[in-house]
Structure formats: C-alpha cells, structure tokens
Amino acid sequence: MHNEIEKTLITEEDIQQKCQEIGEQLSKEYEGKFPLAVGVLKGALPFMSDVLRKMDIHVEMDFMDVSSYGNEMRSSGEVKIVKDLDTKVEGRDVIIIEDIIDSGLTLSYLVDLFKYRKANSIKIVTLLDKPEGRTVDIKADITGFSVPNEFVVGYGLDYQEKFRNLPYIGVLKPEVYGGDN
C-alpha cells in the first residue's frame, strides 16, 4: 500500500514524539482527577491508544461513533450518533480525542452534546488540524500538527476504509482517489 502514497507528511517518529508530549501534558493538567477520554471512532483509535499509554494518571476510556449525514457532502451540518457513550458525562472532565479537525462539524456537535449533558469540563485534543477546511468556528485545546488542504491518510485516517493502519501520515497519490481533492 505504500506505493499508493505520494509522500510522507509526518513520520512515525514525529507522531510518537508528539504523543509523548501530549500524554505528559495531559497527565499534568489532570493530576488528581479521573478524566474521561472519549475517542471518536474510527479515526481516533491509533492516536488515542498511543497518547493514553503515555499518561501516568488514571483515565477512563469510552468511544463514540458519529457520522455526518450525506457521506460525500459534509456541508449539511447534521451529525447523527451511530454509537453513543456507555458512560455518564455529567460532572466529568471530558477529553475528546480526534485524529483530525476538518470542517469542525463533528467536534462542534460533540462539544455541544457534552455541554448539554453537563460535563464539568471539555477539552479537545486532535492529532491534526486542517484549518483551511473549517466551516464552523471551533479550535482544539491541543493540536499535534497543522496540515495543508491535501488528501491525508494513515494513522487512523482513511480513504474508503483503507490506510488507517499506516504508522505515519501520508498524502495520497491523486490517481488513487481519481483526481481532485
């Protein structure tokens, strides 16, 4: 599958270094607390797994799966819950973990939802940020890397459910997805 990648954008080493930094930062920020880490399926899985293993405090894990209505067009702005949390959010310090913020729709929906459910605090941690994709105003509290408006895959990010298992972030060759971004 590596021959379908045009170039490496972020190496495995740089990702792992970043996970270490973020894990240490979170351990400090939540010292004496028991935060609830919410991974957004499926893309957040590798990042969540690596970051949480760099933390040396107790942290609870749970997962949500949401999807935007109309898979090909994200502009509708509607998000539906495919799998909800098992955990009650009320009073909890929630850390939302994402692989990428693009339009911002997924995260703005989740932040609103957790506010509505009376979280004590909400923090957004994302490995990647694609600021040019933004249609709603939302910022992460912790961002690993900013990426250009290119078709990035790997380390959780997919093209048609492939490439999630790459250990690095790469740019897809245009011929793989058939043309323009």
Footprint on this chain of Mg ion (rule: CB under 5 A): 158
By CB under 6 A, residue 166 contacts ligand PRP = no
Query: How far apart are the C-alpha atoms of 115 and 90, rounded to whole Å?
Result: 9
By CB under 5 A, residue 43 contacts Mn ion = yes
104 binds, among Mn ion, Mg ion, ligand PRP, none (CB under 5 to 8 A by kind): ligand PRP
Which residue number has the CB closest to Mg ion? 158
Pick between residue 36 and residue 147 the one whose CB is nearest to Mg ion.
147
Q: Which residues does 107 contact at the CB level (< 8 Å), separation at least 6?
A: 96, 98, 101, 124, 126, 138, 140
End-to-end CA, the chain: 20
102 in active site: yes
Among 22, 48, 100, 110, binds ligand PRP (CB under 6 A): 100
Q: By the 8 A CB rule, do 8 and 147 touch?
A: no
29 binds, among Mn ion, ligand PRP, Mg ion, none (CB under 5 to 8 A by kind): none
Binding site for Mn ion (CB under 5 A): 43
Q: Which residues bind ligand PRP (CB under 6 A)?
A: 40-43, 67, 74, 98-106, 158
